[in-house]
Homo-oligomer: A and B are copies of this chain.
Amino acid sequence: MIIVKIGGGSGINIRGAIEDLAALEDKFVIVHGANALRDKLAEDLGRPKQVLTSAKGYTSVYSDENLLDVMMMAYAGLRNKRIVEMCHQMGINAVGLSGLDGKVVQGRRNKGIRVHRDGKTKIVRDYSGKPKAVNKPFLDLLLDNGYIPVLTVPIIDEQNAAINTENDDVVRVLQASLKADTVINLIEAPGFLEDKEDETSVIAEIPASQLEAREEQVDGRMKRKMLAVRKLFEHGATRVIIADGRIEHPVADALAGKGTIIQ
């Protein structure tokens, strides 16, 4: 079993990744993002995302109903269905699902963020949260009958409401349940870089034991990504490959040893 996370950056060669997957003998599950597409759609609709600043100074996207609507359009609608279409064109019998469908990815909604507003401290609660479990019987039902799940956000919370979450966290709960041999994470870089300004500085191998140290070395999205990778090992991952999603054969090259292999 392989889990492939297709990042939501605009530079990812989705068609190439699917072409590679079609040639594999292993079973696999796809998890995909649509970041760039969502931001473009929100902008085109004149509904830019709002950012909350917590009382402690941390910023986060404010996932109100409007943002969830846009996510449903970009992730579960356009991107998911075009990926499913490509899959069928390459002979992969794909079924596209948001976490809501058959409650396939279940999460817990965040309690809220403490913010200062108009001189007062208030708790603002949005539709965001963390995935906690997957509906494994449903995934097995699909996989055992020859259907390949293509998963994306939003997911469903304990009150059956749609919530936003990180696809990297979806991969984590999926791994906890499916125990894939290999998790491939396709990003817009050639792998984990020793120097983020230098694309030739890819580190070919990172022992899982060094992940915490590597996390200290980076910041922003990459730091979050490395934390997500570290958690994968807590859930029994044996091999995680961070690989370039922009090249002609993103998956085939990753499996052939390009990118950063963590084990």
Contacts and interface: CB of A to CB of B under 8 A. Distances in A.
A107 interface: no
Interface string A67-93: 001001111111011101100110001
A97 B98 contact: no
A73 B89 CA distance: 21
A154 interface: yes
Interface stretch (A156-164, A172-180, A210-218, A221-229): A156-164
A199 to B, nearest CB: 32
Contacts of A85: 100, 156, 160-162
A62 to B, nearest CB: 19
A94 interface: yes
A95 interface: yes
Residue of A69, A75, A160 ringed by the most chain B CB atoms within 10 A: A160
13 contacts: A69-B78, A77-B80, A81-B100, A81-B101, A84-B98, A85-B156, A88-B103, A88-B160, A89-B159, A95-B101, A97-B101, A138-B145, A141-B145
A45 interface: yes
Interface of A: 41, 44-46, 69, 72-78, 80-82, 84-85, 88-89, 93-98, 100-103, 138, 141, 145, 147, 154, 156, 159-162
Contact of A74 (B73, B95, B141, B161): B73
Ordered nearest first, which 10 A-B pairs have the shortest CB separation?
A77-B77, A73-B73, A88-B160, A73-B77, A72-B81, A89-B160, A95-B102, A72-B78, A95-B101, A72-B77
A138 B94 CA distance: 12
Nearest to A75: B77
A61 to B, nearest CB: 18
Contacts of A159: 89
A141 B74 CA distance: 28
